[in-house]
Amino acid sequence: MRKILLLFVFVIQSFAALSVEELTWDNGDTLLKFLQRNSIPMSLYYGLDKEDQELASDILYKTRYQILKDDNNNIEQVLIPISDDLQIHIYKNKNNQYALTFTPIIYQIDNRILHLTIKNSAYQDVYEESGSSTLARAMVRAFKGINFRNIQKGDEITLYYEQKRRMGKLWGDITIKMATVEINKNTQEIFSYNDTFYDRKGRELDNFLLTKPVNYIRISSPFSTARYHPILKRYRAHLGIDYAAPTGTPVKSAGKGTIIFVGTKGGYGNVVQVKHEGGYTTLYAHLSRFAKIKTGQRVNQGQIIAYVGSTGMSTGPHLHFGVYLNNKAINPTSVVKIAKSELKGKQKKEFENTIAQYEKTVQEALNNHQPNPPKEEDFENYIELN
């Protein structure tokens, strides 16, 4: 990995006089089309194994990517993010031949605390104090089910959250670790543990947006982010959940929304994508066929949109189900409705230790009158070639 990064920096420095072109991924575009359009050997794609071909299909509409070209307008390097943590890196190797690999996106993690007294509304005041609509939306999602209209002037909000930064700017979404909100002097609190929100007693909160999209036999592959495989010596990821089910099993929209894509998508085969409220998008892949649907059509939660299959790079009939928040892959189990549970035993103890540390950190900040973080600049998420 070190060698790759050093080579990367060296190439950028060598072509410092050239500009880096930043583009936006078109709706329905695929890596294969991109390679063909830019005269890059398609063998880069076909030479990948099945899992990596599927991963290479996970480039979402409006994803920002960068291309570095030489004086003759030939592509030297390409970086295409496929998640908060992983990107496709196309480059010329020492033999001046194109190569493709998956590399991690380097970022820093900041833990921050914001405390304020309501002047207007929860969303508006959090946005104006932080300069971050991402933080304001994360607060609203965390407290799904709470009516913020009842909040009064003088009520207080405290948010303890984690955010990623790249090149000094926000990257990806914000994770609320602990939050307290007064609503007419009645305090509501939540605590995050293993991507799920709980109350103080370890009872799971009903903050789900989506339902399971298919009746399945088993989960054949869970969600995982960028991880280095010690045997294969490269990064692997699985940006969704695979539900094993017989061919022809109905696939239902996990939530109310608008269909934004119907068609084929590289290793994913037949695909449907649905846009939902709150910045969420769902992806349904390896479908055998589509229901009577079309792009732009509104669909309801539970409406049949397609049927399970094994198209694309698939080893057997299953549904690959992906969930994206603000164009970034997230663990579907964090927003898909399952049986609510209460933490017990070892997990309950770990949870209690976790929230005790959260509360200690927050209380120390409040006691020391720690100032709120500086306002974020007005920009969109992006990455740079260095």
Name which of 104-108, 241-245, 272-276 the model is least confident about.
Answer: 104-108
pLDDT of residue 124: 94
Mean pLDDT along residues 330-344: 79
Backbone angles phi, psi at 11, to 5 degrees: -65, -40
What's the confidence (pLDDT) of residue 98? 95
pLDDT at 4: 35
Residue 386 has pLDDT above 50, yes or no: no
Residue 193 — φ and ψ, nearest 5°? -150, 120
Tokens of 93: 């190797």
Q: What is the pLDDT of residue 208?
A: 67
Do residues 271 and 265 lie in contact, with contact meaning Cβ atoms separated by under 8 Å? yes
Residues 357-367 have pLDDT tens digits of: 999 999 999 99
Residue 282 near residue 321, CB atoms below 8 Å? yes
What integer pLDDT is reported at residue 12 of this predicted model? 45
Confidence of residue 59 (pLDDT cuts 50, 70, 90): confident
Q: Mean pLDDT over all residues of the chain?
A: 86
pLDDT at 41: 95
**Which of 41-50, 121-130, 136-145, 249-258 comes out lowest in average pLDDT?**
136-145
Which residue, 225, 212, 187, is CA-closest to 328? 225
Q: Could you read off the pLDDT of 271-317 as tens digits, one per residue? A: 999 999 878 899 999 999 999 999 999 999 999 999 999 998 888 99
Question: What's the CA angle centered on 91, arms 90 and 97, to 5 degrees?
Answer: 115
pLDDT tens by residue, 118-160: 999 999 999 999 999 989 999 988 887 777 888 889 999 999 9
Instruction: List 290's β-bridge partners, or say none.
Output: 306
CA distance 374 to 165: 14
Split at pLDDT 50, 70, 90, the class of 381 is: very low
| Cβ pair 113, 158 in contact under 8 A | yes
Report the predicted TM-score, pTM, of the whole model to 2 decimal places: 0.75
